[in-house]
Structure 1
Amino acid sequence: MADETVGVVGAGIVGLATAREIAMRRPGTRVVVFEKEPEVSRHQTGHNSGVVHAGLYYTPGSLKADLCVRGVALLREYCRRRQLPYRETGKLVVAVREDELGRMNALFERARNNHVPDLRKLSREEIREIEPHAGGIAALHSPRTAITDYPAIARAFAEDVVDSGGEVKLGFPVCSLRDVPGGIEVGSRQERIRVDRLILCAGLRSDSLARLAKDTKEPRIIPFRGEYMLLRPERTNLVRGLIYPVPDPRYPFLGVHFTPRVDGSVEVGPNAVLALAREGYTRTRISPRDLLGLAAYPGTWKMAAQHWRTGIKEYRGSFSTAAFMKDAGLYVPGVGVRDVVRGGAGVRAQALDRDGTLVDDFRIHRAGRVTAVRNAPSPAATASMAIAEHIVRAVFEDAAAN
């Protein structure tokens, strides 16, 4: 008999990393992962662009900064041991206008405070030495930024859980959570399973699952769809590594950028448009229930009042390839509509507070026997193994200390 049974809801990369951490670090604990889909990494993990972030962007001392830097080291070593793809292609963060230089310099200082390795500033001429076809007047170069295959990593995490005696229950949509003596009953429409502790890593459904567990109502999840173009195969030679714009600190999104993939393709994107369904990977996917939830939440309207101009611009790019590529062409001049085809899309589970603030940092709540990951956007995949360590400490060690 197991000493204890711990349930994890969600078989994305954060949920599987957490389940793996428990299974590997706490022998005698039975781990059960509950996933509504027929396979792991179906949503955010499966639509991820594959970037392993070095930690440039995040507020020093925040969970994002600390767990990203720690997560890179853990992920690199894991990929080495499991022989999974991990390529340090490097990243340029490019300023194309004079008024971006102040923000670029501030980003450089932030990245140094986060101990991003080997970061340096580049002149216009030095940019061309690294990316001969790139534009820009100055840039930051992060040579240790990498790309990987996150769905493959998630599958490897799932294998580790099973090999350690745990279980990954696919096709198990969690419909109910009920307190029972000494534990929690996790129910689908067909089955109920009792666990001693429960960890919610439900991504796009994290707020609704947290409400079932009687956690706080806020933050709410707002789904943003990010759409990609793909460079035509004969044009992928224009890009060697990652090419990003200088980010706008008002938004948690990084802007349209060029991303080589481990399969040799190059993505251009993403934009960020409000999705009309939690799993709205296409413009035609609409959920009346999800739309009603968005409309009923005060934070949605406050966010819209603050950012409607940006929203209009993003939607214009969603419907017009020319508009989408207008900004992209600043970073690789000459690349335009004829050089790309429509690619895939992902949906980001972005937490939103009632006052209309887009939550930036990771947010994890613990209430009794339930721990809920309420906000884990990028760089959550990069930081997944470090997030798992953080959760396991909170669930077991911190709880024991109290």
Structure 2
Amino acid sequence: MGEILELDCVVIGGGVVGLAIARRLAIAGREVVVLESEPLTGSITSSRNSEVIHAGLYYAAGSRKAELCVKGRQALYAYCRERHVPHRQCGKLVVASNEDEVTYLEKLLKQAAANGVDDCYLIDAAALHALEPEIHGHAALVSPSTGIIDSHGLMDAYITDIEAHGGSVVVNSPVLSGELTKEGALLSVGGADPFEATARLVVNSAGLEAWAVSQNMRGLDPATIPTRAYAKGNYFTLAGKAPASRLIYPVPEPGGLGTHLTLDLGGQARFGPDVEWVDAPNYDVDPARSEKFYAAIRKYWPHLKDGALQPAYAGVRPKTVGREGGGGGDFVIQGPQATGHPAYVALYGIESPGLTSSMAIADEVWQLTA
């Protein structure tokens, strides 16, 4: 391996959350190196999602997701305006397809208010038709604060900030193993040019691989590592014009928010994700799954034509609660006190709304290590 590099702070994982953490630590004066196992940053989970800026409606009051989504959304909109990151606050409608689901919308409105989201309101079928003539339902909850973002543009801005404050991002550098020591941590890094490095602080923000990184970290109590589940979400694109100018969500399903209509910044419509529990990550989209998509979408857009959906892409959400537990789960952010080691911070279950929460998560990690 040769000479052992001496580093101050290493962030493992160059997804949107890892980059946000590295940015925050670099601004605070740490010398930061991001180690990303893939050839490109954000090429796994961060580029395989809906690119939605979430308002913070759904999450249990007092949960990390609720708190960090609301804080993160406010910070993210401000950052996007300041740094000219492409985004649009287009708003969202959660549509009740029958009378029974209207009760859910009423509960969701109260949940949103409890989370500090105070701009939501309910509309009836006539008002829904006036806003979005193609969308059908008994009622809808309007979320004006929901938006869409160019996730790659956001990550590029984070990287620019990291480098402007003396940090660096190194791709093709998987962390193979590590050891927590009295002085900090010793890491063994693979790739074309493998090396070993010591670090005073290691932040494990490896997304789907966070569990494996911790399992290979000698000196870490295995009891600190939570359970893991994989929820695969498949997406289909629409051939033709989008039926709405806002995001359209149905009433949620266990493990996800239902097969919803999202838009990219070019106006292209895509539907998803569904929820497919898998034993290991894979990114193939089975065209046959479109049958369930057609049925789910036609509950709120009955004019969807046969053959209009095309397989697009899939993402896998790292969860701490699987199907048996209802598919929910919260962010797990362990500072040195929780990991039992002053040099080690670990994040697990950073799924949606991770992108929206990224700046707030970064602030939390900084506070835990200050």
Q: TM-score, length-normalised on structure 2?
A: 0.91
Does 1:324 pair with 2:293? Answer: yes
Structure 1 unaligned spans of 5+: 284-316, 397-402
Mapped to 1, the partners of 2:163 and 2:141 lie a distance apart of 42
Does 1:187 pair with 2:184? Answer: no
Mapped to 1, the partners of 2:134 and 2:109 lie a distance apart of 23
Q: Which runs of 4+ in 1 moved over 6 A?
A: none
Q: What SS is found at the alignment partner of 1:100?
A: helix
What corresponds to 2:241 in structure 1? Answer: 235
What corresponds to 2:50 in structure 1? Answer: 49
Describe how 1:149-228 pairs up with structure 2 within 5 A.
149-189=150-190, 190-213=194-217, 214-217=220-223, 218-228=225-235
8 A contact 1:48–1:150 mirrored in 2 = no
Q: What SS is found at the alignment partner of 1:371?
A: strand
What corresponds to 2:273 in structure 1? Answer: 270
Q: What SS is found at the alignment partner of 2:235?
A: strand
What corresponds to 1:78 in structure 2? Answer: 79
Aligned with 1:246 (options 248, 251, 254): 251
| Deviation, structure 1 residue 343 | 1.3
| Deviation, structure 1 residue 88 | 1.1
Q: For the structure 1 residues 154 and 180, does the alpha-carbon distance in structure 2 shift closer, same or farther, using more than 3 Å as the test?
A: same
Mapped to 1, the partners of 2:81 and 2:56 lie a distance apart of 20
Q: What SS is found at the alignment partner of 2:237?
A: strand
Mapped to 2, the partners of 1:54 and 1:215 lie a distance apart of 36
Q: Which amino acid aligns with 1:122?
A: I
Q: For the structure 1 residues 318 and 109, does the alpha-carbon distance in structure 2 shift closer, same or farther, using more than 3 Å as the test?
A: farther
Q: Deviations over 1:69-118 (max 9, x none)?
A: 11011111111111111211110001001211221111110101122142
Q: Deviations over 1:221-252 (max 9, x none)?
A: 322221111111x332x11110001224xx23
Mapped to 1, the partners of 2:211 and 2:326 lie a distance apart of 16
Q: TM-score, length-normalised on structure 1?
A: 0.84
Q: Which amino acid aligns with 1:377?
A: E
Q: For the structure 1 residues 243 and 354, does the alpha-carbon distance in structure 2 shift closer, same or farther, using more than 3 Å as the test?
A: closer
8 A contact 1:10–1:202 mirrored in 2 = yes
What corresponds to 2:115 in structure 1? Answer: 114
Q: Which amino acid aligns with 1:282?
A: D
Q: Which amino acid aligns with 2:347?
A: V
What corresponds to 2:106 in structure 1? Answer: 105
What corresponds to 1:143 in structure 2? Answer: 144
8 A contact 1:359–1:375 mirrored in 2 = no
| Deviation, structure 1 residue 339 | 2.1
| Deviation, structure 1 residue 220 | 3.0
8 A contact 2:287–2:311 mirrored in 1 = no
Q: What SS is found at the alignment partner of 1:338?
A: coil
- Measured on the aligned residues, the alpha-carbon RMSD in Å equals 1.9
Aligned with 1:8 (options 11, 34, 41): 11
| Deviation, structure 1 residue 321 | 2.2
Mapped to 2, the partners of 1:337 and 1:42 lie a distance apart of 32
Task: Say which is worse superposed, 133-142 or 330-339, in terms of deviation.
Answer: 330-339
Q: Which amino acid aligns with 1:335?
A: L
Does 1:372 pair with 2:346? Answer: yes
Aligned with 2:358 (options 357, 381, 384): 384
8 A contact 1:117–1:142 mirrored in 2 = no
